[in-house]
């Protein structure tokens, strides 16, 4: 029998999820309108990506979503396959969130690529196995299937012992393929002969580490939102474990940042140097110092350290702040490497530069497609919260 307090709490929770679904629908409508513009006018007319900076906001948002998804799958895999019980207490939310945010990522790449259907056809008919994008498609495609299987298993009624064993195996492969997919995404950029800022092993590692950190941050944020910053006690140990994971992730990110930036500065006058300068003092400097460092590193880490990863509300805030900051991290990563021009912007060259760097700022339509991604996430995820039981009772 439910108490009065529980009934009030359930009602409030339903109001909250409904509100978030409505916000999601509004974002979907905005994104839908933008998609129509893209279909009617063409990418070139409505997107601000250009000859010098061909990849922009949508690739950044794609990376933001899909890498967070694989980070979630990693944490889910730790719970399912490696017996980290603290994480397995959240397994339903993890799988639903990973699946939905992966779909949100696919909307971004779908609207970025000029011929997404043709891509699927020619990936089968005429694949270039040397091209990292082929493997990106393969790995993320497999990841989507694995997550769909996991979804089926966790919501299957009357689970048998064999289902738990299957869940372990599937969870392990979600973790493995997720890491492969994300590190391969680093290779997509690392394989670009012309862009030395992306070369080397750095981004493959950074994306995996920041993805796992993002998975933890999103779980901390969403749990606080769902429970209105009043997380139930039975989840305290899981939340603390996620807080520690997130803190450790940020710690490794600081380490990686330090050496990447320093080593890039020493390539002067090369393109890595120019990209690093664009981050430190150039057109991306506000993004870098405020977004990447303050929001995605300093504030969340300070919150975790000072709260000793044991204050649930503080962890929720750290998660939200980190997820906002991480957007700048992804955006800067995509754009910075492309700002050094391939040819000097002299008269007649056709290259447009300001202070020796190419220029890019997202168009309104690109921002509206960005809203589409968030709309997909909010609507699908909070519909799941609203109509499915995502609390994991036992494992």
Residues that bind another protein (CB under 8 A): 42-45, 49-52, 54-55, 113-116, 118-119, 122-123, 126-128, 130-134, 137, 188, 191-195, 338, 341-344, 346-352
- The Cα 276–Cα 282 span in angstroms is 9
Cβ proximity of 329 and 292 under 8 Å? yes
Minimum CB separation of residue 262 from another protein in Å reads 22
Minimum CB separation of residue 324 from another protein in Å reads 27
Nearer of residues 123 and 302 to another protein, judged by Cβ: 123
Minimum CB separation of residue 346 from another protein in Å reads 5
Tell me which residue of 235, 240, 254 sits closest to 319, measured CA to CA: 240
Minimum CB separation of residue 36 from another protein in Å reads 18
Minimum CB separation of residue 260 from another protein in Å reads 19
Q: Which residue has the tokens 């690529």?
A: 113
Cβ proximity of 28 and 372 under 8 Å? yes
Cβ proximity of 395 and 88 under 8 Å? yes
Tell me which residue of 110, 101, 279, 278 sits closest to 178, measured CA to CA: 101
Nearer of residues 41 and 310 to another protein, judged by Cβ: 41
- The Cα 284–Cα 271 span in angstroms is 15
Cβ proximity of 321 and 300 under 8 Å? yes
Q: Which residue has the tokens 């006018």?
A: 41
Nearer of residues 82 and 122 to another protein, judged by Cβ: 122
Minimum CB separation of residue 54 from another protein in Å reads 4
Minimum CB separation of residue 123 from another protein in Å reads 6
Cβ proximity of 369 and 47 under 8 Å? no
- The Cα 158–Cα 185 span in angstroms is 38
- The Cα 246–Cα 221 span in angstroms is 12
- The Cα 119–Cα 126 span in angstroms is 10
Minimum CB separation of residue 356 from another protein in Å reads 13
Q: Which residues pair with 342 in a beta bridge?
A: none
Nearer of residues 1 and 124 to another protein, judged by Cβ: 124
Nearer of residues 44 and 233 to another protein, judged by Cβ: 44
Nearer of residues 174 and 358 to another protein, judged by Cβ: 358
Tell me which residue of 140, 54, 129, 155 sits closest to 103, measured CA to CA: 140
Nearer of residues 164 and 343 to another protein, judged by Cβ: 343
Q: What are phi and psi of 77, to 5 degrees?
A: -65, -40
Tokens of 182: 């994300």
Nearer of residues 54 and 232 to another protein, judged by Cβ: 54
Minimum CB separation of residue 38 from another protein in Å reads 12
Nearer of residues 83 and 114 to another protein, judged by Cβ: 114
Residues in Cβ contact with 361 at an 8 Å cutoff, skipping those fewer than 6 apart: 48
């Amino acid at each position: 029998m439910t108490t009065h307090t529980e009934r009030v709490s359930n009602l409030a929770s339903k109001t909250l999820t409904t509100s978030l679904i409505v916000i999601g629908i509004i974002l979907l409508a905005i994104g839908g309108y933008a998609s129509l513009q893209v279909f009617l006018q063409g990418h070139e007319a409505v997107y601000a990506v250009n000859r010098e900076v061909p990849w922009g906001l949508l690739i950044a948002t794609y990376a933001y979503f899909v890498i967070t998804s694989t980070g979630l799958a990693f944490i889910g895999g730790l719970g399912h396959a490696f017996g980290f019980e603290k994480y397995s207490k959240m397994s339903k939310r993890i799988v639903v969130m990973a699946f939905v945010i992966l779909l949100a990522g696919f909307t971004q790449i779908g609207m970025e690529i000029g011929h997404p259907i043709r891509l699927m056809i020619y990936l089968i008919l005429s694949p270039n196995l040397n091209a990292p994008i082929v493997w990106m498609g393969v790995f993320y495609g497999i990841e989507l299937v694995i997550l769909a299987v996991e979804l089926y298993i966790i919501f299957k009624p009357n689970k048998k012992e064999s289902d738990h064993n299957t869940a372990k195996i599937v969870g392990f492969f979600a973790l493995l393929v997720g890491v492969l997919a994300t590190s391969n995404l680093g290779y997509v950029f690392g394989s670009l002969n012309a862009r030395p800022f992306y070369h080397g092993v750095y981004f493959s590692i950074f994306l995996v580490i920041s993805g796992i950190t993002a998975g933890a941050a999103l779980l901390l944020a969403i749990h606080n939102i769902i429970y209105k910053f009043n997380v139930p006690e039975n989840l305290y140990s899981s939340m603390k474990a996620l807080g520690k994971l997130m803190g450790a992730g940020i710690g490794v990110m600081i380490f990686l940042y330090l050496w990447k930036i320093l080593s890039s500065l020493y390539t002067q006058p090369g393109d890595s140097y120019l990209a690093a300068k664009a981050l430190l003092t150039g057109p991306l400097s506000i993004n870098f110092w405020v977004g990447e460092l303050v929001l995605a590193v300093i504030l969340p880490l300070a919150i975790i350290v000072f709260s000793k990863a044991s204050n649930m509300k503080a962890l929720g805030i750290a998660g939200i702040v980190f997820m906002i900051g991480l957007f700048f991290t992804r955006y800067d990563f995509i754009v910075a490497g492309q700002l050094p021009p391939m040819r000097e912007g002299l008269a007649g060259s056709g290259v447009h530069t300001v202070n020796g760097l190419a220029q890019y700022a997202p168009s309104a339509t690109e921002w509206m497609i960005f809203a589409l991604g968030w709309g997909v996430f909010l609507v699908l995820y909070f519909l799941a919260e609203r109509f499915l039981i995502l609390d994991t009772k036992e494992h």
